[in-house]
Chain A
Amino acid sequence: MTTKVSACWQKNPALAWREIDEVTVIISPTDSVMHELNDTGSFLWKNIDGRRSAAELAELLAESYEVAPEIALIDTQALLEEMSSRKLVMPVPATGGELR
């Protein structure tokens, strides 16, 4: 699945999460699966708020980690797709039913 870079992302509201030892631990209560996010994944997770797009998240990543914007965007999209495949995040449906 490829989602437009302008699409906003939100956390799956069914999940529980907590940061510990600089690792974000996420549990999915419905299937009792535990997920862990590394440093970059945790950074994105903290900033996924239902209002930011992949492009905006990549900007934050580029600033904080001092990486080139194009590299940050590639990394951000890859991480979002990975988290999406694990049902941790989802694109926010645009009004009208289509993804922005």
Chain B
Amino acid sequence: MNAPDANSGGGRQQPFELSIGCVPMRLQIADERLYSAVSARYGAFTGTAGQPIPIALNSFSAVGSHRPEFAYEFEGALLRTGSNETRFDGVRNEYALDSLLRVLLSWKLASREGFLLHAATVIRAGMAYVFAGRSGAGKSTVASLSPPGSVLTDEISLLRRGNGVWRAHGTPFWGEFRAAGSNTSAPVRGIFRLVQSAENRVAPLRPVELLRALLPNVLFFSAEPEANRRLLEILGRAAEEISGGELSFRRDRTFWEALPK
């Protein structure tokens, strides 16, 4: 529920609850303008199921004495998270907040058998097709050539394993900071590395080749060895359990004919 909360010293705090990839979070926001921007951007992802991660945004309260498990700075905005508290400080606008949310999610997903990937995801016949690649690889093209409403994201995909099944979840993280996406998910049919070509063709990738394709496209911001071991374990499992392919594709809708049903 998003309703005004007690004053914590810096202004009237308003909670904003959202859930991305079944990771529930509660932002405590004092800035009215930022609250409006957040409501508009994450409107499709409101509500939580389960205990949300409380995030103190630009809080005036003192930083706890516990050393954070993970900290990250982005253009003057600072994320600190630990078992007791998560704080975003120095957040001046929705762009900085969006960046810190991605970073926080990437960290939290590593302990929830999930990860964020530079990829577009499209649902077809109830299954999620994940198209991975750096900028310019064709993620936006694939998304634009897919039916409206079938695209979970054109920029950053969220994959999570639950009950032995990998699912792709919608995210609010779209290219050019567009507010889009839906808070739904579907079982993953495959992960496809994009290569623009004159013909449509899918070449299967062995697990190690898929892992090689995933690694440069994964969003992860910690250099801490144990966290990276956890991440590599998750990615290795994904590469072993999800079918992978290299999709050479023409810039028209016919590429779907080459993909497995």
Contacts and interface: CB of A to CB of B under 8 A. Distances in A.
| Residues of A contacting B: mostly | strand
B228 A18 contact: no
B58 to A, nearest CB: 30
Contact of A30 (B207, B212, B223): B223
B228 A29 contact: yes
A18 B232 contact: yes
Given A21-B206, A21-B207, A34 B215 contact: yes
Contacts of A30: 223
Nearest to B209: A21
Contacts of A27: 215, 228, 232
A25 interface: yes
Given A27-B215, A27-B232, A34-B215, A21 B225 contact: no
Interface residues of A, number: 15
B222 interface: yes
A27 B233 CA distance: 11
A7 B215 CA distance: 34
A23 B212 CA distance: 11
Given A25-B208, A27-B215, A34-B212, A18 B225 contact: no
A23 B225 contact: no
A14 interface: yes
A18 to B, nearest CB: 4
A30 B228 CA distance: 10
A16 B211 contact: no
Interface string B208-251: 10011001000000111101110111001001100000000000
In this complex, the interface size class of chain B, counting residues with CB under 8 Å from chain A, is: 10 to 19
A16 B231 contact: yes
Contacts of B215: 27, 34
B227 to A, nearest CB: 8
A30 B240 CA distance: 25
A45 B215 CA distance: 21
A29 B223 contact: yes
A16 B236 contact: no
B208 A23 contact: yes
A97 interface: no
A14 B225 contact: yes
B225 A20 contact: no
Interface of B: 206-208, 211-212, 215, 222-225, 227-229, 231-233, 236, 239-240
22 contacts: A13-B225, A14-B225, A15-B225, A16-B225, A16-B228, A16-B229, A16-B232, A17-B232, A18-B232, A20-B211, A20-B236, A20-B239, A20-B240, A21-B206, A25-B211, A25-B212, A25-B232, A25-B236, A27-B228, A29-B223, A29-B225, A34-B212
Given A14-B225, A16-B231, A17-B229, 9 more contacts: A16-B228, A18-B232, A20-B207, A21-B207, A25-B211, A25-B236, A27-B228, A29-B223, A34-B212
